Structure 1
Amino acid sequence: MADNSASEGSLGTIRGAAIWAPDGRKLAEFYAAVVGVTVGNAYSDEDGSEVAFPVPVGDSTYFFITAKSFKAPDWPAQELPFHLDLTFGDVKAAEKRLLELGATKPEFQPGGGRWTVLLDPSGQPFCITQTR
């Protein structure tokens, strides 16, 4: 629900999201390839290990974070806290390319053909649909 009492200067802008995975670099490279950009300079933790990998997309940046204890959700048995929706001009060609990049296609496909669910290399679901 929008807060209509907020002044213009007090409103925020969502600039991106952080997504955890067992190998943040690998997942960043996957999504960077999907959208045709390159992974930015990695961020290190307090021990100097690279753990956060930025993928700039337009005015947003998505960070893919290495979390060794990460476990992909058991979808569809478990609800998802969030997922990404990606659009393409040619969904069939995109699906083929995404599978070649390391995505997999689960048997369960909800949505009646309006979208296709794929799993990224970390096992997290994302959806692809036709660009409107």
Structure 2
Amino acid sequence: MTAPVGQLASISLDCPDTDLLAGFYSRLLGLEEAFATPDRGVVALAGAGPMLTLMRVDHYVAPLWPEGPQHQQLHLDIAVEELDSATDAAVALGATPAKHQPAPNQWRVLLDPVGHPFCLTAVRPE
């Protein structure tokens, strides 16, 4: 194995409203704001490994999963202890269960307040 060039610092999500998603993911994952540009077009959250950075994009188009035409380009898998209670908690924060649930006993697919798919999962490596 060769030496890495660097370490993953952040995962960035395009969105129409950084403050909306910052509040949602702060409560969902227990993160705190680490950085914001003066116009709040970029907000970075920290506290769980790499930062989660939210970037305001004019003319944002939410992905439609699992069918297009705007497919997801990235999604987060979030480890939870119990799927039903975690799903209820995420919905209370503003998430919406996706209509398509390919493996609901292992993963719950939800959409954040602006339509990004993310999964709650109780699956762990053995």
The interval holding the TM-score normalised by the smaller chain is: 0.7 to 0.9
Match in the other structure for 1:107: 99
Q: Structure 2: which 5+ runs fail to align?
A: none
* From 31, 37, 42, the counterpart of 1:37: 31
The superposition leaves residues 56-81 of structure 1 with CA deviations (integer Å, 9 ceiling, x where unpaired) of 03332111111121110121112321
* From 112, 117, 126, the counterpart of 1:125: 117
Q: Which has the larger radius of gyration?
A: 1
The superposition leaves residues 25-44 of structure 1 with CA deviations (integer Å, 9 ceiling, x where unpaired) of 11111011011122234213
CA distance in 2, matches of 1:66, 1:33: 19
* From 38, 48, 62, the counterpart of 1:58: 48
SS where residue 113 of structure 1 aligns?
Answer: coil
CA RMSD of aligned residues (A): 1.7
Regions of 4+ moved over 4 Å: none
Q: Structure 1: which 5+ runs fail to align?
A: none
CA distance in 1, matches of 2:104, 2:40: 41
SS where residue 40 of structure 1 aligns?
Answer: strand
Match in the other structure for 1:97: 89
The one-letter amino acid of 2:92's match is E
Q: Is the 8 A contact 1:18 1:64 kept in 2?
A: yes
Q: Is the 8 A contact 1:29 1:38 kept in 2?
A: no
Greater Cα shift, 105-114 or 14-23: 105-114
Same amino acid, percent of matched pairs: 29
The TM-score, its normalising length taken from structure 2, stands at 0.86
Q: Is the 8 A contact 2:63 2:115 kept in 1?
A: yes
The one-letter amino acid of 2:41's match is V
Q: 1:91 to 1:112 in 2, by over 3 A?
A: closer
How many positions carry a matched residue from both structures?
A: 122
The TM-score, its normalising length taken from structure 1, stands at 0.83
Match in the other structure for 2:13: 19
CA distance in 1, matches of 2:83, 2:104: 15
